[in-house]
Chain A
Amino acid sequence: MKKGVYICHCGSNIAGTVDVEEVSKWADDLEDVAISRDYKFMCSSLGQELIEKDIEEYGLDRVVVASCSPHMHESTFRGACQRAGLNPYFMEMANIREHCSWVHKDKEAGTEKSKALVAAALSRVGHHEPLVIQYAPVDKNTLVVGGGIAGIQAALEIANSGYHVYLVEREPSIGGHMSQLDKTFPTLDCSACILTPRMFEAGNHENITLLTYSEVENVDGYIGNFEVRIRKRARAIDEEACTGCGLCEEKCPISVVDDVFEAGLGYRKAVYRPFPQAVPKYPVIDRENCTWYQKGKCRLCEKVCPTDAIDFEQEDEILEVKVGNIIVATGYDAFDARRIPQYGYGRYPNVFTGLEFERMTNAAGPTTGKVVLRDGVNVPESVAIIHCVGSRDKKYNEYCSAVCCMYSLKFAHMVHDKLPDAKVYNFYIDIRTPAKGYEEFYHRLLEEGTIFIRGRAASISDVALTVEEEGKLIVTAEDTLIGEQRRIPVDMAILSTGLEARHDSQEVARTFSISIDKNGFFRERHPKLDPVATMTGGVFIAGAAQGPRDIPSSVAQGAAAAARVLSIIDKGEVEMEAATAEVNDLTCVGCRMCVISCPYEAIDYLEDRQKAEVNRALCKGCGTCVAACPSKSITLHHFTDQELMAQMTGAMNALFEIDGVLMPA
């Protein structure tokens, strides 16, 4: 056997903490090593060519690359081997960057650990078997989950390329948070005006199957071949017959507070469309509030419907669809302002949340766009806008929600616009305006006369200390620019609440095999270079489900995710997992321990022969069966007992050798 060893400097990333030349020299003397080199950047084309050339020149049959994490460059170096005619599975990586040079400061310790990791990889790679990668065809349909602007964008991009999309939305209409907004910063174009055409296009596209009021219940399969179970909840409306005339909604005697679309500021009926431009146009009967479902009376909507579209007997529909790729764009939840009691939301009527104010300023909203106090009549003479509510605070969320500065500035502008005499105070920690046209918008507000107070608001109360403060809300804050504690009496306070991961993001993540970060947002495959892919092949993420972001950035991500999906569809086939399990027929005793332990039901028990057999198309290569098998009759290719134990023994032997202790017999 002829092994080649390549130690990467990674500039100074590795070479700074690991004596790479020493490791390379040391490895040269190890068993079967034909050539050992160190090189500045192994991942560069020159570095890869070095491997290719050596494979040809020295006739290498095994390659070890000691560099970064295999999550980073395993496919790069497998490719290099393949180009030189070597089976790509004859390559093994030693992770001496993420697991060594980046986490240790002592050069001697780093060098020793690197030696052990290289020895481990060398020992392992000797046992590697040549594996053949199989290909599977890609289903050309795509599932997009979430009908906010990110999901709509993604769905339209794919549909416009001629491929079919299932767009699934939990609410009765697509549109997401963007449909609730009035103006959009920094250009102040009306949100509905730019969103509605997109919603309409998505709702009427020949390549989009729109499934609103629906949820994904289960996902099986793998990239290119997912099987998805979707529950289409019963609207109690016959979609074939309904014309969307809205008569049912008009006549329905039940009004309930609309917590979702109107953010609790307005009402809707028990049979309702969230807003007039809703897509699809069909209403939904809210069974928890409908008198017929609750008390068995009424059916007024049925009487007034001109097309007999009301169907009280309708039941949930379960759809099974096959798709090749999935884009998850499930958006965010607004921070619940009640969690910060000192701001008094819920106690003082004139403390509003950002979304409430958004609905209030919207001409189609509950106050028809008038800025008024909670009584619906009186107009505020002074307004305080509190930035960073629930953001940049270790007690709630440490991160910056990215959009609040800009929408707070927009609110200030709206108040100036609608109430030119009102005083507007913005309480901020820092003003963050890092995108195109944003800083200019901030300057515009400075000129419009907004009073900016640099300091996190400490509290909002109604306890007056002076005559001027009576009947007002008093915002207290330390003005850090003048170094003084200030009390500002105002009529209205708006809390610029931050963005949080959806309350059920963990369950959604499990359904789609995505991992989440510590804040509950979906985790991307690489934070910089692979921002819309996930660790699960064929599952992509877009929009605020991945982290707080504004509309332009959500749209960009939606389009990016669509581009990734399209490239997979166009390629037409995907690599299948080569590292699957296999049963040794000769030693299998048919105990079925593996059948019980397999999470995928990928192991069949052959009754007639009393043996287990792995269905390699279903096997995902977790290896749970291998560890369960009492007769050691199952092998997980590329993670065999021999390979893993050789890796461990290689490391241990190297450690004893470095210690200078005589190895026990």
Chain B
Amino acid sequence: MPENSYEPKIIGYLCNWCSYAGADGAGLARIEYPPNVKIIRVPCSGRVSPEMVLRTFMQGADGVMVLGCHIGDCHYGNGNHRTAKRFPVYTELMDYMGIPKERLWVQWVSASEGPIFAEVVAEFTERLRTMPPMRGKLEVG
């Protein structure tokens, strides 16, 4: 694959109530963003375990996004507090596996923030384009 045709593969874990609805909102408003992200719906960003993030990289993803409600707005009260607290765990484990922590984005996008969702995706995709592609899937035991 030639260097210039590199399109980062991104998996986005979006909470059902805020960020997934925000992504729907971007669609309703027809706000264009790069097609690189493939969205997986989770009930709460707090559902995303560090292991899930690592497994996603192991499957060859160039970037992983975990998007949830703004702190204080969680549909489940404080599920996203867990996400915020887990962030260092995610990055520590990524570091251990030799994956730069810039490949993971944890952000808060509310249901009314369609334009912000589009911006976040565009910015993350651009950032990943400046990094070399992950070399496909990792060998795991």
Q: Do A and B bind each other?
A: yes
Indicate whether A659 reaches chain B with its CB closer than 8 angstroms.
yes
A656 with B136, Cβ < 8 A, contacts A102-B30, A622-B46 known:
yes
Within 8 Å CB of B46, what residues of A? Answer: 597, 622-624, 627
Closest to A102 in B: B27
A639 in contact (CB, < 8 A): yes
Closest to B42 in A: A639
Of the candidate stretches A33-41, A108-116, A433-441, the one touching chain B is A108-116
Assess the A515–B18 pair: CB atoms within 8 A.
yes
B112 contacts A by Cβ under 8 Å: yes
Instruction: Establish whether residues B47 and A624, one from each chain, have CB atoms under 8 Å apart when the complex forms.
Output: yes
A627→B86 contact, CB < 8 A: yes
Distance in Å: Cβ of B138 to nearest Cβ of chain A: 8
Residue of B nearest to A627 (CB): B49
Q: Is A636 an interface residue (CB 8 A)?
A: yes
Contact string against B for A residues 485-520, beta-carbon threshold 8 Å, 1 for contact and 0 otherwise:
000000000000000000000100110010111100
* B17 touching A535, Cβ below 8 Å: yes
Tell me which residues from 9 to 46 in chain B have a Cβ below 8 Å from any Cβ of chain A. Answer: 9, 11, 17-18, 20-21, 23-24, 26-28, 30-33, 35, 38-44, 46
From A120, A600, A645, A656, give the contact of B52 (CB < 8 A). A645
Is B111 on the interface with A (CB-CB < 8 A)?
Answer: yes
Contact between A622 and B43, CB atoms less than 8 A apart: yes
Q: Which residue on chain A has the smallest CB distance to residue B44?
A: A622
Q: How far is the CB of A23 from chain B (nearest CB, A)?
A: 14
B137 at the interface (CB under 8 A from A): yes
B113 within 8 A of A: yes
Which secondary structure dominates chain B's binding surface? Answer: loop
Among B35, B38, B73, the residue within 8 A (CB) of A510 is: B73
Q: In the complex, which residues of chain A have a beta carbon less than 8 angstroms from the beta carbon of B11?
A: 648, 651-652
**In the complex, are the beta carbons of B35 and A624 less than 8 A apart?**
no
Chain A residues 574 to 606 lying within 8 A of chain B, measured CB to CB, are 579, 597, 599-600
Is B128 at the interface (CB under 8 A from chain A)? no
Q: Is the CB of A627 within 8 A of B60?
A: no
B125–chain A nearest beta-carbon distance, Å: 12
Q: Which residue of A lies closest to B136 (CB)?
A: A664
Is B61 engaged at the interface, CB distance under 8 Å to the other chain?
yes
Report whether B33 and A647 are in contact in the complex, using a CB–CB cutoff of 8 Å: no
Chain B hits for A651, CB < 8 A: 11, 38, 40
Contacts of B17 in A (CB 8 A): 515, 535
Report Cα–Cα, A659/B28, bound state, in Å. Answer: 29
> CB-nearest residue of chain B relative to A106?
B35
Residue in contact with B59 in the complex, picked from A104, A649, A659, CB distance below 8 Å: A649
A510 to B20 alpha-carbon distance, docked (Å): 19
User: Using Cβ atoms and an 8 Å threshold, which residues of chain A touch B1?
Assistant: 659, 661
Asked if A109 and B35 sit within 8 Å, CB to CB, the answer is: yes
B99 on the interface (CB 8 Å rule)?
no
> Contacts A624-B44, A644-B40 given: A97-B112 contact, CB under 8 Å?
no
Contacts of B59 in A (CB 8 A): 648-649, 652-653
Chain A: CB-nearest residue to B118: A103
Nearest CB of chain A from residue B134's CB, rounded to whole Å: 11
A622-B76, A652-B11, A664-B137 are contacts. A71–B24 as well, Cβ < 8 Å?
yes
* Docked CA distance A69–B41 (Å): 11
Q: Find residues 33-88 in chain B having any chain A CB closer than 8 Å to their own CB.
A: 33, 35, 38-44, 46-52, 55-56, 59-61, 72-79, 82, 86
Partner of B27 from the list A99, A109, A110, A624 (CB cut-off 8 Å) is A99
Docked-complex contact B40 and A648, CB < 8 angstroms? yes
Residues of chain A contacted by B26 (CB below 8 angstroms): 98, 103
Say whether A628 faces chain B, with CB atoms less than 8 Å apart: yes
Contacts of A628 in B (CB 8 A): 49, 82
| In contact, A99 and B23 (Cβ under 8 angstroms) | yes
Given A636-B43, A663-B137, residue A71 in contact with residue B21 (CB < 8 A): yes
Interface of A is mostly: helix
B110 contacts chain A at the CB level, 8 A cutoff:
yes
B42 near A621 with CB under 8 A, answer no
Q: Which residue of A69, A636, A645, A653 contacts B47 across the interface (Cβ within 8 Å)?
A: A636
Partner of B38, one of A120, A636, A661: A120
**A109 contact set on B, CB distance < 8 A:** 35
A517 near B42: Cβ-Cβ < 8 Å: no
Bound Cα distance from A73 to B137, whole angstroms: 35
Q: Which residues of A contact B43 (CB under 8 A)?
A: 579, 621-623, 636, 639
Size category of the A interface is: 35 or more
Q: What are the residues of chain B within 8 A of A597 when measuring CB–CB? A: 46, 82
**Contact: A517 with B112, CB < 8 Å?**
yes
* Bound: A653/B72 CA distance, A: 36
- Interface hits, B81-110 → A, CB 8 Å: 82, 86, 110
The answer on a CB contact under 8 Å between B82 and A120 is: no
Interface contact B38-A620, CB-CB below 8 Å: no
Instruction: Please indicate the chain B residues that have their CB under 8 angstroms from the CB of A69 in the complex.
Output: 20, 24, 27
| Contact of A304 with B by CB under 8 A | no
Could you tell me the distance between the alpha carbons of A134 and B1 in the complex, rounded to whole angstroms? Answer: 52
A518 to B73 Cα, complex, angstroms: 13
Contact flag A523-B111 (CB < 8 Å), given A120-B38, A515-B17: yes
Q: How far is the CB of A362 from chain B (nearest CB, A)?
A: 37
Given contacts A102-B30, A113-B38, contact A515 B111 (CB under 8 A): yes
Q: Does A641 contact B (CB under 8 A)?
A: yes
Q: A98-B24, A99-B23, A659-B1 are in contact. Are A518 and B47 (CB under 8 A)?
A: no
User: With an 8 A cutoff between CB atoms, is A419 at the interface?
Assistant: no
Q: Which residue of B lies closest to A119 (CB)?
A: B38
Given contacts A622-B43, A623-B43, contact A515 B112 (CB under 8 A): yes
- Cβ-based interface call for A70 (8 A): yes
User: Would you give 13 A-B contacts (Cβ < 8 Å), ordered by A?
Assistant: A99-B27, A103-B118, A117-B39, A510-B73, A523-B112, A620-B76, A622-B75, A627-B52, A639-B43, A644-B40, A648-B11, A652-B56, A661-B1
A residues in contact (CB < 8 Å) with B? 69-71, 95, 97-100, 102-106, 109-110, 112-113, 116-117, 120, 506, 509-510, 513, 515-518, 523, 535-536, 579, 597, 599-600, 620-624, 626-628, 636, 639, 641, 644-645, 647-649, 651-653, 655-656, 659, 661, 663-665
Those 8 A-B pairs whose CB atoms lie nearest each other, nearest first: A98-B27, A623-B47, A624-B46, A627-B49, A622-B76, A102-B27, A622-B44, A599-B77
Given contacts A600-B76, A622-B79, A623-B42, 10 further A-B contacts (CB under 8 A): A71-B21, A98-B28, A103-B32, A515-B18, A515-B111, A622-B47, A622-B75, A624-B44, A639-B43, A652-B137
